[in-house]
Amino acid sequence: MSHRRRSNAGDPPPPEGTGGSSTAEASSTGEENPDLPWAWALGSERRVLALALAFRAANALLVRTYFNPDEHWQCLEVAHRIVFGYGHLTWEWKRGLRSYLHPFIFAALYKILSLLHLDSPWFMAMAPRLLQSVFASFGDLYLYKLSKLIFNNHVAQWALFSQLVNWFMFFCITRTLSNSMETVLTVTGLYYWFVAIESVQGNSVVSKQQAASKQSPPSRKMALLIAALACAIRPTSAITWLYVGLLDFIQMKSKSRFIFLEVVPLGVFVLAVTTFLDCWMYGSRVIVPLNFLKFNLFSSGGDYYGTHVFHWYFSQGFPSMIWTFLPFSISGILKSREWRLAGLIVWVLVVYSILGHKEFRFVLPVLPFMFMFSGHNLAAMAQLKGKGHNEKGRLSRLKLSVILLILTNVPMALYMSLYHQRGTEDAMLYLSREAHDGRVKSVLFLMPCHSTPYYSTLHYNLPMRFLDCTPSENKGTLDESDRFLMNPADFVGEVFGNLSSFSHIVLFESEERHVKLLLRNSFQEVRRFFHSHFKVDRDLQSSVVVYSKKSVLSSMVKVGQTIRQNKKGTDHSMANLCADILNLIKSCQIVIKLPLCPVMEGSYCHEFSSKHTVSPLALSINCSRQNA
């Protein structure tokens, strides 16, 4: 990506005395940018990093909602299994589609927590996001440095402002998604790539010496190493680096040196290390990037989880992510005329648009570059304001723009991070506390697969069961999640039969009404957690409900109340009475040696006895109180 610093009509001018030459010579203080309230905190890169660390730590603590299953199931669940010996591996890990490189980062964190005896439910839930917040803060720092390198310090401050305020970055970047790590690596790698371009094209003594000796700048090797790591974590990151590398490769004089002395050695080194790690963990020979690309790109395996129209990223996905920064970014592209960086964004969106399965997080790595352009536009507006353009009698365009961006992003960031789809996270934290107190024996999740965190949050080794959604090789075959949603009651009766083998059942309110009759006799609601105000891709899942199996005493009390009501001549159905007693027999381990018919009359007794063959029962089941 050939690049030279430019000073054109669209660029906000550098501070006085810089001569427009290099951003390294630009004033390091925030004095030239009085419109940014916290510009004083950006006086040096150390201050920028400190600000980013504090902000992202608070960001991580405020994220309490569920966004994408991969945050837990493709990272933390795997890391938990590595360290503690239990955790569920999804079907992707059985087919060799995922690398252990990313989960190993968080496995190291879990190991430290375990050694320090800090693996409590709260730490297990929050520590991974706090660690990711550290990586995210370095992503913020390198966005600042890249903006400063390409444009100037003034633009860098506004680019950082844009990234910190944007709702989607706040909502997503501190989550333990591989896409979040890929984003940090992409921004960091691109910074070193541009540093290499500057060193080759610059007029410094070092640049001339490197050009004369035909040595490649160290920063380019660093960029290639980071790019290789990004591709190891997310093989589709190659889409970004293919564009970046090819544009400069065309203009290189020593193409063979670049390929055989830089790209190949570094690429082979990273591939060898990650392949060794994966083969060791899988216990067999496996090349994950090849399997990943084969499944997702060449066989359209990702389409199993849904497809979108070709233009989705342009018409809905990316605009929703960048939100109200979109017009500022487009204006910044036109003013800066940094076409190749803008071309990278378009290239990534177009290539991902070819794939049928689309998600917001897939294009997260190019979102920060849009904030560079919005920062350019805001910096240009600040320069106009500084010259006194149209300020009298009203707020400046800059202040109105800043107010608009804050009001349209901050509330949305807080709502999406604190409220929208938080019920599944709260339910698992509740079950974790209950399990550690000895009140949970086994759990059944009657909800779409991977709707909740799993052992990585529960952090207690007990039997759990969720609805499977492994893709079938036979097209048209419905998985358990689909079958359950089509007919919840019939599916539960067919697959699970006697639900009393579970101590707790978790389900959404939208499915609760379909299976309530099955739960009525053996289970009771113990907690209900708010989940969402509006539906996402299914029926409204307004709350998450946790049911617990009734105790023997509570079941007997209910049957006794039913019998008393029946004797008083109420309208309680004798069939319901029979069902209650049968359920008590099944769910409570009680020895029954007396005929049941004396408490029933006529045809009800005959129906109960013939259908269930329990009269005059003599069951030999252990009971804590046999004469109950």
Token pair 């048209």 is found at: 476
Beta-carbon neighbour count of residue 211 at 10 Å?
Answer: 15
Span 460-482, mean pLDDT? 87
Q: Where are the beta strands (DSSP E) in 356-474?
A: 443-446, 464-466
Token pair 């890391």 is found at: 79
Higher pLDDT, 561 or 26: 561
- What's the CA gap between 511 and 154, in Å, rounded? 53
The SS3 call for residue 532 is coil
Predicted pLDDT of residue 535: 82
pLDDT, tens digit (0-9, with 9 covering 90-100), for 217-229: 889 999 999 999 9
State the pLDDT confidence band at 274, using cuts at 50, 70 and 90.
Answer: very high
pLDDT, tens digit (0-9, with 9 covering 90-100), for 418-432: 999 999 999 999 999
Token pair recorded at residue 52: 């980013």
The SS3 call for residue 385 is helix
Predicted pLDDT of residue 604: 39
Predicted pLDDT of residue 599: 41
Q: Where are the beta strands (DSSP E) in 425-530?
A: 443-446, 464-466, 504-508, 523-530
| 227-241, 390-404, 483-497: least confident range | 390-404
Residues 600-605: contacts with CB under 8 Å, at least 24 apart? 600/574, 601/574, 604/574, 604/575, 604/577, 604/578
The CA distances from residue 462 to 124, 350, 554, in Å, are: 17, 46, 25
The size of the chain, in residues, is 628
Percent of the chain with pLDDT over 70: 76
| Residues 40, 33 contacting (CB under 8 angstroms) | no
Residue spans per domain, the chain: 23-62+95-418, 423-549, 554-612
| 39-48, 72-81, 402-411: least confident range | 39-48
DSSP 452: S
How far does Cα 403 stand from its chain's mean position? 29
pLDDT at 602 over 50: no
- What's the CA gap between 535 and 378, in Å, rounded? 36
Q: Where are the beta strands (DSSP E) in 509-597?
A: 523-530, 543-549
Predicted pLDDT of residue 239: 95
DSSP 42: G
Predicted pLDDT of residue 244: 95
pLDDT at 12 over 60: no
| Residues 363, 321 contacting (CB under 8 angstroms) | yes
Q: Which of 505, 560, 556, 553 is nearest to 527 (CA)?
A: 505
DSSP 465: E
The CA distances from residue 165 to 12, 13, 92, 140, 411, in Å, are: 22, 25, 35, 12, 10
Token pair recorded at residue 353: 């648009």
Token pair recorded at residue 131: 């660690």
DSSP 596: S
pTM assigned to the model: 0.83
Predicted pLDDT of residue 568: 55
State the pLDDT confidence band at 38, using cuts at 50, 70 and 90.
Answer: low
Q: Phi, psi at residue 64, to the nearest 5°?
A: -125, 15
Predicted pLDDT of residue 77: 97
In this structure, the strands spanning 443-446 and 504-508 are: parallel
pLDDT at 266 over 70: yes
Span 307-332, mean pLDDT? 95
| Residues 307, 357 contacting (CB under 8 angstroms) | yes
pLDDT at 611 over 60: no
Decide: residue 133, CB within 10 A, 0-12 exposed, 13-18 middle, 19+ buried: buried
- What's the CA gap between 418 and 578, in Å, rounded? 46
Predicted pLDDT of residue 590: 43
How large is the greatest C-alpha to C-alpha distance in the chain, in angstroms? 106
- What's the CA gap between 288 and 299, in Å, rounded? 15
In this structure, the strands spanning 543-549 and 504-508 are: antiparallel
Span 603-617, mean pLDDT? 38
State the pLDDT confidence band at 576, using cuts at 50, 70 and 90.
Answer: low
Token pair recorded at residue 299: 């066989």
State the pLDDT confidence band at 295, using cuts at 50, 70 and 90.
Answer: confident
Tell me the residue type at 397.
R
In this structure, the strands spanning 504-508 and 523-530 are: unpaired
Predicted pLDDT of residue 444: 96
Q: How are strands ordered across the β-sheet holding 464-466?
A: 464-466, 443-446, 504-508, 543-549, 523-530
- What's the CA gap between 328 and 374, in Å, rounded? 5
Mutual angle of helices 367-386 and 397-418, in 10-degree steps: 150
The CA distances from residue 428 to 101, 451, 454, 522, 529, in Å, are: 26, 11, 7, 22, 11
Higher pLDDT, 471 or 212: 471
pLDDT at 107 over 90: yes
Predicted pLDDT of residue 606: 39
pLDDT at 458 over 60: yes
Beta-carbon neighbour count of residue 386 at 10 Å?
Answer: 16
Q: End-to-end distance of the chain based on CA atoms, in angstroms?
A: 81
- What's the CA gap between 226 and 365, in Å, rounded? 14
The CA distances from residue 489 to 212, 345, 484, 516, in Å, are: 77, 47, 8, 9
Q: Phi, psi at residue 394, to the nearest 5°?
A: -160, 165
| 311-320, 427-436, 612-621: least confident range | 612-621
Predicted pLDDT of residue 521: 83
Span 333-348, mean pLDDT? 95
pLDDT at 375 over 90: yes
Predicted pLDDT of residue 525: 94
| Residues 81, 281 contacting (CB under 8 angstroms) | no
| 14-28, 354-368, 392-406, 524-538: least confident range | 14-28
Q: Is 41 left (phi over 0), alpha (psi -120 to 50) or beta?
A: alpha
- What's the CA gap between 447 and 506, in Å, rounded? 8
